[in-house]
Structure formats: structure tokens, C-alpha cells
Amino acid sequence: MKPPAPRIEGRLYQISRHAKISGVEIWFAYRTTEDSLHNLTTTTDTSGEFSFEVPTATLKSAHIGATLEGVAPIDLEPNGAALQPGELVLVVDDALPSYLRYAG
């Protein structure tokens, strides 16, 4: 039996409710060192968790984020190397109203 592929696993957490959020689209965008761009999406499960298979290619850039206001994308900073499996938490920073967070 083939072992499972390495994965990046995470959860989406909302500050104001101190809770995980289900049903939100999560995106994973990366560019290989050969300049091939890839965009993957998944949806958080009922526990607010998500995962993506780790690409085997060496990467110029890689970011994970959510299609939800208040979530800052995470730069995985591959810098020309392959990504390693790992865990991360995306945080919905909604403790302040959006007009205060994004005042410009």
C-alpha cells in the first residue's frame, strides 16, 4: 500500500467567537521555479479544518488564504525549495469592525 501524500493541514479560526469556522473556501496558490502557476481550492469541514497535498516541485512562491474578509494570506516562503508538510492556522481578525481595520 502506498503511503499517504504529505499534506499541509490547517484550520480557520474566528477571534470574536473563539471558534473554528466551517464552509469557507480556502485557496492555495503557488508558482514553481519553472514559472508554472497553480491555484487550488478546498472548503473547511464542519470542524473548520482543511488540507492540501504538498507539491513535490521546488517553488518560487506559495500562499494560503481564505475568501473571507479579515483573513490575511500566509506566505509560506519556499524561496526556491520544496515545501515541507506542516500545520497552520488562518485567523479571521474580526475583533474590530472592518471600517477600523481597513481605514486608509
Q: Residues 43-92: pLDDT tens digits?
A: 999 999 999 998 989 999 999 999 887 788 899 999 899 888 889 888 88
Global pTM exceeds 0.75: yes
Which of 87, 93, 92, 103 shows the shortest CA–CA distance to 6? Answer: 87
> What percent of the chain is modeled with pLDDT above 70?
89
Whether residue 103 is predicted with pLDDT greater than 50 in this model: the reply is no
Q: Which DSSP string do the residues of 3-29 spell out, in sequence order? A: PPPPEEEEEEEETTTTEE--S-EEEEE
Of the two residues 93 and 6, the one the predictor is more confident about is 6
